Amino acid sequence: MKLKPSDVSTVIIVNKNKEGSQTLQIKTKHISRIKHYLLGILAVITTLTLSVIYLSHKNQEQEEEKHNLVAQLIKLKGEVPVAGVEVKKPNNAQNYIQSIEGKLQTINDYLKKRGLKGFSTKAVGGNGNAEAAKLTDEEKYSLYDEYLNRLVHTVAFTPMGYPRVSALTSYFGYRSDPFNTASAEFHPGIDFKGNRGDEAKCTATGRVVFAGRYGGYGNCVRIEHANNFETLYGHLSRITVKVGQEVTVGQKIGEVGSTGHSTGNHLHYEVRKNGKAINPIKFLTLNN
């Protein structure tokens, strides 16, 4: 379709040295809409900026929550006298133990909110039953010290937080197959937006049990943690760890890419319990 002269505007571009000029023909409707185009671009930039600020804030908040939780456990462990050491205030021993139990219950609530099985202190000692009455104060403190050691280990080796700070592009559960929108597929993890080469970090201390090509996951890293947990990181452009390597929380294990069954650069992240995929959203922050 041939455009009418009124549908086209001519823009003259003059060289600042006045050595020549160029003309550019643009549809008149685009010139009239240029203000709307600029506002649209500005809105996109503003949205992206606010998203980055929000995600950074959430990540910082999650880290603070995690540090506070671990700090509470370490503080409790430090307060428990070592077996054999004289207790200065034996008359208040029961009150002291009840105070510890109250703090443990708070930690227990945090873990339950994150989909983790709660723990009980009934078998630890100091709960007033017949068996507990037979224990000396030193024995009760020793049992709590041992119990807190196990609890600190549980928290430290449980997947927590973000493998990378960015927007989520796909969630856990059924969705349209990105390669065939007419069919559905089960997505066993969540996807984080990213650029090729962005860092991917492990979310808990553990041991690398797989590092290489893994079917539709492309370049993939699987890390085994305590309590039968495992995390998986897929579609990596580069793997920076090897099988058998011990890794710590926050350590770089690879770089974002689009290998395998993927339509673009992103990080696929899974949390598995006893080999079964569970929703990783529960493990991003302590308050979930």
274 to each of 15, 224, 226, 231, 277, how far by Cα in Å?
Answer: 69, 10, 11, 11, 9
How far does CA 207 lie from the centroid of its chain?
18
pLDDT surpassing 90 at residue 176: no
Angle, CA of 8, 14 and 17, to the nearest 5°: 175
Residue 232 vs residue 97, higher pLDDT: 232
What pLDDT is stored for residue 52 in this prediction?
79
pLDDT surpassing 70 at residue 113: no
What pLDDT is stored for residue 250 in this prediction?
85
What pLDDT is stored for residue 55 in this prediction?
77
Per-residue pLDDT of 70-87, as tens digits, reads 666 666 656 555 544 444
Sorted by where each starts, the structural domains of the chain and their CATH numbers stand as 5-46 (no CATH), 60-156 (no CATH), 168-283 (2.70.70.10)
What pLDDT is stored for residue 78 in this prediction?
60
The pTM of this model reads: 0.53
Per-residue pLDDT of 82-106, as tens digits, reads 544 444 444 455 666 666 777 777 6
